[in-house]
Amino acid sequence: MAVDLNQKEWAFRFGYFLEPKFSSSGDLDTLVFQRGGYQAEIEQRYEISSRPGRLRVLGFVNRGPDGQLLPGTDDPDFNIAQTRKDRFKIGFVLNLEQALGEDLGVFARFSYNDGSNQIMSFTDIDRSGLLGIRFKGGSWGRPSDTIGVAGVVNALSRREVAFIGASGLGILIGDGKLNYATENIIETYYRYQLAYPVAVTFDHQLFFDPAYNQARGPVSVASGRLHFEF
C-alpha cells in the first residue's frame, strides 16, 4: 500500500509493504499489524541558475524475524537462524538529480542500513554510493536518445564481513572464504528511441571484486531492454 501527495515543488510518499517470513524466504509474512516494511520519502524540487534539480530523502523501518549479526559471528559454528526474533532494521537513502545543461545532467545516490541485523530480501548491501552522468542526444541529432555512465561502490558492515568470512551465507553471497574488498561497478548504457512509443536500451556493467571478494572477477555483464509505452 502506498500513498503519494504530489505538489508543484515537493512531494511526500508513504508506503507499507509485506516482508518475507525470514531472510531470503519466498513466502510473505501476512501478520500485517505486527511485521512489515514502512517507508517514507520527501522530494524537493528546485532550480540552480534555471537548471532543474530534485533531492529525495527516504527513510525505512522494517520489522520482522531477523537474525542478528552479534559479536562472535566470525565463529564458524555460529548459527544465525538461532538468533531470529522480531527486530527493527532501519536505514535511509539520499538521491540527487541535477541538470547541468540542456542535454547534460548528473545523478547521485547514497544508502545506508544499520548492518547489525539480517537483510530480509534483494541482496547483501549495507552501504552503497553511486555517481553518474547522463547525456541527451540533441547534439548528434537524436534528442530522444540518452547515454549514461555511472560508478557504484557497495560495502558490507564489519559484522557482516566477519559473518560471511566465517562461512556464513547471505542472501546471494557466501562461499566459505572472503578476501574482503568493496564491490565496485562501472555501468554504461545507451537508450535508443526507435519510434514513439518504442525504445531499446543497450547496457554493459563491469564488476570488480564481485560479492566483496578480491579473489573473484572482474565480471562483465551485457544486457538489453525493450520499452513500449501506450
In which domain, by residue range, is 28 found? 2-228
Q: Is the pLDDT of residue 103 over 90?
A: yes
164-178 per-position pLDDT tens digit: 888 888 888 887 788
More confident residue, 105 or 74: 105
Which of 137, 128, 134 shows the shortest CA–CA distance to 98? Answer: 134
Binned at pLDDT 50, 70 and 90, residue 76 comes out as low
For the chain, give the secondary structure using H, E and C.
Answer: CEEEEECCCEEEEEEEECEECCCCCCCEECCCCCCEEEEEEEEEEEEECCEEEEEEEEEEEEEEEECECCCCCCCCCCCHHHHCEEEEEEEEEEEEEEECCCCEEEEEEEEEECCCECCCCCCCCCEEEEEEEEEEEHHHCEEEEEEEEEEEEEECCHHHHHHHHCCCCCCCCCCCCCCECCEEEEEEEEEEEEECCEEEEEEEEEEECHHHECCCCCEEEEEEEEEECC
Q: Is the pLDDT of residue 72 over 70?
A: no
129-155 per-position pLDDT tens digit: 999 999 999 989 999 999 999 999 999
- Peptide bond before residue 76 is cis, with ω within 30 degrees of 0: no
Binned at pLDDT 50, 70 and 90, residue 12 comes out as very high
What's the number of domains the chain is made of? 1
pLDDT score, position 137: 93
pLDDT score, position 120: 84
Q: What is the pTM of this model?
A: 0.88
154-163 per-position pLDDT tens digit: 999 998 998 8
- Cell numbers placing 159: 559484522
CATH number at residue 27: 2.40.160.10
Angle at 8 between CA 6 and CA 13, to 5 degrees: 20
Q: Is the pLDDT of residue 184 over 70?
A: yes
